[in-house]
Amino acid sequence: MVDDGAELRTEVAVLRRRVADLEAERDRLQETERVLRQGEERYRRLLESVTDYVYTVTVQGGRAVATDHGPNCEAVTGYTADEYRANPMLWLDMAPPEDRPLVLENAARLLAGEDTGPFEHRIIHKDGTVRHVRNTPVLRFDAAGQLVAYDGIINDITERKRAEELFTRLSLHDGLTGLPGRALYMDRLRQAIGQAERREERVAVYFIDLDRFKEVNDAHGHEVGDVVLAMAAKRIAGCVRRSDTVARLGGDEFVAVTPGIGEPDNATAIAAKMVSALAEPFEARGAVCRLGGSVGVAFYPDDATRGGELLRLADAAMYAAKKAGRNGWRRAGDVAAGAP
């Protein structure tokens, strides 16, 4: 005789195990779905933050016949892949006129099967801003060695370029006054001499030192001294043309160069103007400071033909002005001749 109760209990136990297995499978699927959703969200956020995109140029007979831009092209350039398809020349139109020759040259080299390597240029984003990009193409050939396409990745390097430009500016300019530093000044002096040699012109080099500046720091502190230095820089720069260069070497020492100055008297008039400007009182943080300045002037090619020597002679002329009572100027040629 069959025990119906035992058979029923067995079937119930089996059903319970199946239900438990199904519930476990449901929980596993729900967990998998949750992980997938999290992964999709992370991937979406990653794509939104990426400043790169890929493209493919299909080539036939040395000519580009199609270009496909990856979906992230809109994040980098502002234009969608559909807009690129609608305007096959959009990639060139985006480049500023100054950069188009470079872009065209590299495109021609790639279509000729030449590996150009990465190259950098600017683009005009759809919003009108200028961006810097790095283009890294990779050529693809068929079994017969014919170029069939090249793939590339576009990197937005705008922030890197800005950081490089800022670093360059900080390294070449004085942080307090904003004027060029010694390295940039010497480079511009070298260029001025080279140009003057070709044009048979005269260049004037000035060495300017503030008189009694130490007394300002001693009496009022370095904060007032820094303000005075910044004001002095503006006054000196105001005595020359915008195309000329005024630089700060350090402390209270400034230099200037005026290419194409013409007759020496033109330069000495500028030196006298600097002396007059520095003789005016400086009002800084409630303190009234009276300084003055001593200026030395040397000329290319009259006194020397090398930048370093011209600067040394101008420095010596400046010290002669200080020795003569400060608040004045001297020419290097006069000092060398023993003039008072």
Q: What is the pLDDT of residue 103?
A: 93
Q: What is the pLDDT of residue 53?
A: 87
**pLDDT of 40 higher than 70:** no
Average pLDDT over residues 240-254: 94
Average pLDDT over residues 67-95: 90
Average pLDDT over residues 46-63: 77
Give the range with max mean pLDDT: 2-6, 98-102, 169-173: 98-102
Give the side-chain half-sphere CA count within 13 A for 90: 20
Q: What is the pLDDT of residue 160?
A: 86
Residues 6 or more apart whose Cβ sits within 8 Å of residue 315: 207, 296
Residues with a known catalytic role: 252
**pLDDT of 318 higher than 50:** yes
- List, by residue range, all CATH 3.30.450.20 domains of the chain: 52-163
**Amino acid letter for position 33:** E
Cβ neighbours of 129 (radius 10 Å): 10
In angstroms, the CA 159 to CA 62 distance is 35
**Amino acid letter for position 181:** G
For 283-292, b/e burial (b = at least 16 CB within 10 A) is ebeebebebb
Per-residue pLDDT tens digits for 185-211: 999 999 999 999 999 999 999 999 999
In angstroms, the CA 47 to CA 52 distance is 9
Average pLDDT over residues 1-5: 56
**pLDDT of 50 higher than 70:** no
**pLDDT of 132 higher than 80:** yes
- List, by residue range, all CATH 3.30.70.270 domains of the chain: 174-336
**pLDDT of 15 higher than 70:** no
Q: What is the pLDDT of residue 188?
A: 94
Per the CATH hierarchy, to which homologous superfamily does domain 174-336 belong?
A: Reverse transcriptase/Diguanylate cyclase domain (3.30.70.270)
**Amino acid letter for position 298:** A
Beta-sheet strands, E only, within the chain: 52-60, 63-69, 119-124, 130-141, 147-156, 203-210, 245-250, 253-258, 282-284, 287-289, 293-300, 329-331
Average pLDDT over residues 36-59: 68
In angstroms, the CA 115 to CA 144 distance is 18
Phi, psi (rounded to 5 degrees) for 118? -65, 145
* 339: three-class secondary structure by DSSP: coil
Lowest mean pLDDT among 79-88, 160-169, 191-200: 160-169
Cis peptide before 118 (omega within 30 of 0): no
Q: What is the pLDDT of residue 48?
A: 47
**pLDDT of 47 higher than 50:** no
Average pLDDT over residues 24-36: 73
Which CATH code fits 52-163? 3.30.450.20
